[in-house]
Structure 1
Amino acid sequence: MRPIAEGLFTQENPPRLIGGRDRETGRIVFPCPENDRFEPVPLKRDGTLWSYTIQRFRPKSPPYAGPEAFKPFPVAYVELPGETIVEARLANVDFDSIEIGMPLEFVPVPLDPDEPNGIVIPGFQPTEKMA
């Protein structure tokens, strides 16, 4: 597993996202800015779907570095209670099953689904509570 950028995930198993806590206000953001104002903090693994959309066209390159053969995917804003809202890809869910408020858990997902051992990006999938 190779993250798309350094400092996004913890090294523990299972990994967590790394946010940044503002040293003055305590506000948490993601990703952690690289400056002295923020200290890195591991974020919660569980959250709820706050909002989402379906990415139906290949994003502009750069910055998009995904596969040429584009397949639509859901993009979510996930609320990590008491911390922050993060943008991430939704994984392991049918488009018709997505519901605002659904419980989710963090899981790194391949940027290119056809290269499962390639670069991974932040993702969330429905928790077993959905079953």
Structure 2
Amino acid sequence: MHNSLFTDDDPVRLIGGRHRESGRIVFPCPADAAYEAVPLGRKGQLWSYTVQRFRPKSPPYAGPEAFEPWAIAYVELPGEVIVEAWLTDVAFEDIHIGMELELSPQPLGGNSSLIVPAFAPVKALAA
């Protein structure tokens, strides 16, 4: 699954960038010599979210024509960074700030060649 967002590890992790002078971590890792690539933690907490209820304009949206709403999350990876990703495997009415999440990358619109960052509730992954 390796690309500029994910490690080749099993299980896969997101690749962040640590600023060489300040130590500040960002995601994704910039293609800049001032940053070194670092694997990020797989678990975090929901910091904020919204539900995308309408099909975005194309371009830039390249997803399927048949649109289904999805949740977009800001996930706080403790001691690292807050990342933006899809929220998956949870009903919209069950989403709550502070819920425990784990990285669960997903294909964009059924296209298995394009994988996007996503997080799922820890309990959903255990089931």
Regarding TM over 0.5, the answer is yes
Deviation at 1:30, TM superposition (A): 0.3
Instruction: Please give the alpha-carbon distance, in whole angstroms, between the structure 1 residues aligned to 2:93 and 2:111.
Output: 24
Q: Which range is displaced more, 60-69 or 28-37?
A: 60-69
Instruction: Please give the alpha-carbon distance, in whole angstroms, between the structure 1 residues aligned to 2:89 and 2:32.
Output: 35
The C-alpha deviation readout for 1:4-51, integer Å capped at 9, x for no partner, is: xx3100001110000000011000000000010111000000000000
The C-alpha deviation readout for 1:109-130, integer Å capped at 9, x for no partner, is: 1111xx2634210000000289
Q: Secondary structure at the match of 1:96?
A: helix
Quote the residue 1:119 is aligned against: 114
Structure 1 residue identity aligned to 2:14: L
Is 1:10 matched up with 2:7? yes
Cα-Cα RMSD: 1.7
For residue 83 of structure 2, the aligned residue among 79, 83, 86 is 86
The C-alpha deviation readout for 1:55-85, integer Å capped at 9, x for no partner, is: 0111122222111111000000000000000
Quote the residue 1:53 is aligned against: 50
The C-alpha deviation readout for 1:86-111, integer Å capped at 9, x for no partner, is: 00000100001000000000011111
Is 1:107 matched up with 2:104? yes
Gaps of 5+ in 2: none
* Poorly superposed stretches of 4+, deviation over 3 Å: none
Structure 1 residue identity aligned to 2:120: Q
Using the size of structure 1 for normalisation, the TM-score is 0.90
Instruction: Please give the alpha-carbon distance, in whole angstroms, between the structure 1 residues aligned to 2:83 and 2:53.
Output: 20
Using the size of structure 2 for normalisation, the TM-score is 0.93
Instruction: Please give the alpha-carbon distance, in whole angstroms, between the structure 2 residues aligned to 1:59 and 1:48.
Output: 27
Kindly tell me the number of residue pairs found equivalent between the two proteins.
126
Q: Secondary structure at the match of 2:112?
A: coil
Quote the residue 1:19 is aligned against: 16
Quote the residue 1:73 is aligned against: 70
Using the aligned pairs only, state the percent identity. Answer: 61
Higher relative contact order (CA 8 A, sep 6+): 1
